[in-house]
Structure 1
Amino acid sequence: MQDVSRLAAWLAGTDIGLLELRTPEGTLRLGRRGDDVVELPQDEEEIEPVPVKAPSLGVFLHGHPLATAPLARIGARVEAGQTVGLLKIGPLLLPVAAPQAGIVDGVHVADGAAVGYGTPLLDLHPL
């Protein structure tokens, strides 16, 4: 229990939204509820990730061309409607928004890749 408290205190000082540790003895999940870090219950079923799909065809960009940081990193918590990437269509940059709040679980498309309408760009683990 002391180790769980220590991990929760460490997690509170970061911007990590979900920490899952799997061992032969079981799985420990820590996540954020508001400003608090709490132990999350173990679900019988695995929660399916929510795909964020391309709203149009274009070139997918992880971040703005004039910025060095991506808009959403794996493990980052995002809110519904938050911009998680950009689609470049000619000179236009169209924001790609998260359909719901969640933790970025995976990125399917490389920065600068051409995508079509409905292409899965990244996955969100629902909160």
Structure 2
Amino acid sequence: MTGMQDVSRLAAWLAGTDIGLLELRTPQGTLRLGRKGGDVVELPKEEEEEEIELLSIRAPSLGVFLHGHPMAAVPLARIGARVAAGQAVGLLKIGPLLLPVTAPQAGIVDGIRAADGVAVGYGSPLIDLHPF
């Protein structure tokens, strides 16, 4: 966001939709817009909201990180997807072998840090997980 003019434009756009709450998170902070009585207003950040640290899923070995199986068209995990503990979120190709990269705990995929098909080293961050 660059200023109040941008917030006003977002509020005007939001007023023309049926969206009840819009929350934008940036490195500079969080902007929450919601409906109060028919008007769109900026909402304060919830005080009881606790900032949860992201969990970085790291490469268990060196290899080539794959977002999904080479024979499948869809990735194993997408940003915003819920994953269970132990669920495969990617694959690590070591020669002809494909090893699953699994989520250590349940959460929501917040970001994918390694591109598909890129060589990674042991401990390289692959996926950011927002734990439950």
CA drift at 1:25: 1.5
Alignment-derived partner of residue 80 in structure 2 = 75
Q: What TM-score do the two structures reach when normalised by structure 1?
A: 0.71
Which digits, 9 at most, give the CA deviation of each residue in 1:38-69, with x for residues without a partner? xxx942x4210001000000000000000000
Q: 2:43 aligns with which of 10, 13, 25?
A: 25
Partners in 2 of 1:63 and 1:27 — Cα distance? 37
CA distance in 2, matches of 1:59, 1:126: 25
Percent sequence identity over aligned pairs: 68
8 A Cα contact 1:20 1:27, kept in partner: no
Q: How many residues align?
A: 99
TM-score by length of 2: 0.68
> 1:112 aligned to 2:117?
yes
Rg larger for: 2
In structure 2, stretches of 5+ residues that fail to align are 1-17, 24-31, 34-41
2:76 and 2:22 map into 1 onto residues whose CA distance is 23
- Structure 1: runs of 5 or more not aligned: 1-5, 9-18, 29-40
CA deviations 1:69-108 (Å, max 9, x no partner) are: 0000000000000000000000000000001000000010
Q: What SS does the corresponding residue of 2:73 show, helix, strand or coil?
A: coil
AA aligned opposite 1:121: L
Equivalent residue letter for 1:108:
R
Cα RMSD after superposing both structures: 2.3
Instruction: Determine the C-alpha separation between the residues in 1 that align with 2:57 and 2:22.
Output: 22
SS across alignment from 1:74: coil
